[in-house]
Amino acid sequence: MSRALRKRYVGALLVGAAISVAAIGVGAAADGALELNGGPLAMRRLTEDQYRNTIRDVFGEVTLGGRFEPDVREAQLIAVGAAKATVTPGGLEQYDRMAMGIAEQVVAPSRRDVYISCKPVAANGPDEACARAFLSRVGRLLFRRPLTEVELADEIRIAADGATQAKDFYFGIQLGVAGLLTSPEFLFVQDRAEPDPDRPGGLRLTSYSKAQRLSLLLWGSSPDSELLRASETGELATPGGLTRQVDRMIASPRFAAGVRAYFADMLLFDKFRAVSKDAALYPNYSSEVGKQAQEQALLTVVDELVTRNGDYRDIFTTTNTFLTPTLASAYGVGLGAKWGDFQQWLAVKLPESMPQAGVLTQISFAALHSSSGKTSPTLRGKALREVFLCQEIPPPPPDVDFSKFEAAGQASSMREAIEAHAGNPACAGCHRLMDPLGLALENYDTSGAFRTVESGKPIDASGVLDGVAYKDANGLGRAMRDNPRATACLASKVYSYATGRPATNGERQWVRDQLLKDWGGSGYKMSALMRRIALDPGFYRVTSDSDAKSEGK
């Protein structure tokens, strides 16, 4: 029965995806500003961060005992590649395992009174009224909309059957919660459309699709009860109501979690699972250091962009960060009187004597974009171009001979070794984009520790970024901060992240010519960027897949 129910849900999702309309691109508003006309509907699987955030927001801190399906990246983002992600039979078993574990914790004697406000008539059997009250409330949050009567009746029946067989009301509720958590209506986010009263013949997202798009952008999670209430009453469909909800959500502590979710995706932190270092060469690096390095970067970004409401560009130059004793040891530094006997995170302003400044000089970037035994200016330069400047670097030609580079690298500095690339016409073009940037970070070894010499020679970290010269990694950070490509890249990525799909040509034009201009006027604050996107009526307009594809080509 459960699998048949899932098939019916999937079928409903696929039918919903077929809605289309013929308007697309951008137009001119009455005040001369460029007007966004939206894009096609999308269906995407919840990312791991979105799943985790939703479970935390609905059920609190519970343990997830399973593995997530592998993520797919498109346009450098998991949130965009999620439209191509599926659930395999093995993955469904893992979701089932997580669902049962979560549900078991929800109905545990120590927790059940927190989540289940009603009491069954008898604890040794089913109680339809209590099951209905609980499952409808929880289902509304997990499905990001109210359950239909058919859906609710199915879950109540599953709970009743389980309670009868086990002679335990709460075991039945456990099965009902698990059923909600393994439903495609929870695991997949489906855009749905309705006629747009302001555009005859046009479509817009339904109020519930509008709410889920807002919550995934601003919170990296599902809508809360207040946002769903605004959807149900029609408040979210009014400009004033939308503004009130967006401002409330940005003021919420959940906004920090939403910014974290975005940057964890953008910074490729999922790839840390495959990072390892040669323990003989880099004994200070460990998997725990890698985990804390990721957290340091995210704490730094959230502090700069949410707590301080600062300029996005300052993440490349800030000396405000966070350290633990473990990380400080990995960096090879102490903090004097501030060090004290703290055991967890300490907010610090790095002294001028420390060479680190900005996220590019943190362990998370240096270690992620290096091999296990040595640095890689090419990998680091490629990541800088693709992650922060949105410049796609093609893979190397299949017939490239790497032997000369490898031989040179064994006997000389990294700067001298990579000059082998310049002698190969097939490589030179791309490596001129990547290598100079990566060489600026050569003062940081593959574990992220600072050094001044390599192979007995002083490290030359100078270079040029798009015509701007620098002497070291901090100079590169300043050049990145002032590079207009950096802000244009973030605006483009955040918009695609918000829609869960690649932008159409019209959307890219709007981002380039209107959104970026408006964001710059706000001082490049992250909250202003997300707010500008969230309040634009065109963000919720719907066009057809066929029109978007033809326009995109």
How many Å apart are CA 269 and CA 221, to the nearest integer?
A: 18
Q: Provide CB contacts within 8 A for 392, sequence distance 6+.
A: 386
Classify the C-alpha dihedral 476-478-479-483 as positive or negative: positive
The conformation of residue 188, written as its DSSP 8-state character, comes to: E
Residue 234 is predicted with a pLDDT of 96
**pTM for this model (two decimals):** 0.89
Alpha helices in 337-413 (DSSP H): 363-368, 377-383, 389, 403-411
Residue pLDDT tens, the chain, 553 long: 344 334 433 343 333 333 322 233 455 554 567 899 999 999 999 999 999 999 999 999 999 988 898 889 999 999 999 999 988 999 999 999 999 999 999 999 999 999 999 999 999 999 999 999 999 999 999 999 999 999 999 999 999 999 999 999 999 999 999 999 999 999 999 999 999 999 999 999 999 999 999 999 999 999 999 999 999 999 999 999 999 999 999 999 999 999 999 999 999 999 999 999 999 999 999 999 999 999 999 999 999 999 999 999 999 999 999 999 889 889 887 655 555 555 689 999 987 777 889 999 999 999 999 999 888 888 999 999 999 999 988 776 665 555 554 544 454 666 666 666 556 655 555 667 778 888 999 999 999 999 998 888 899 999 999 999 999 999 999 999 999 999 999 999 999 999 999 999 999 999 999 999 999 999 999 999 999 999 999 999 998 754 444 333 3
Greatest alpha-carbon span in the chain: 81
| Angle (deg, nearest 10), helices 254-266 and 526-535 | 100
> What pLDDT was estimated at residue 407?
46
Supply the DSSP string of 65-125, one letter for each residue: -S-PPPP--BTTBHHHHGGG----HHHHHHHHHHHHHHHHHHTSTTTHHHH--S--S-TTS
Distance CA 501, CA 56 (A): 25
SS3 200: coil
Q: How far apart are the first and last CA of the chain?
A: 44
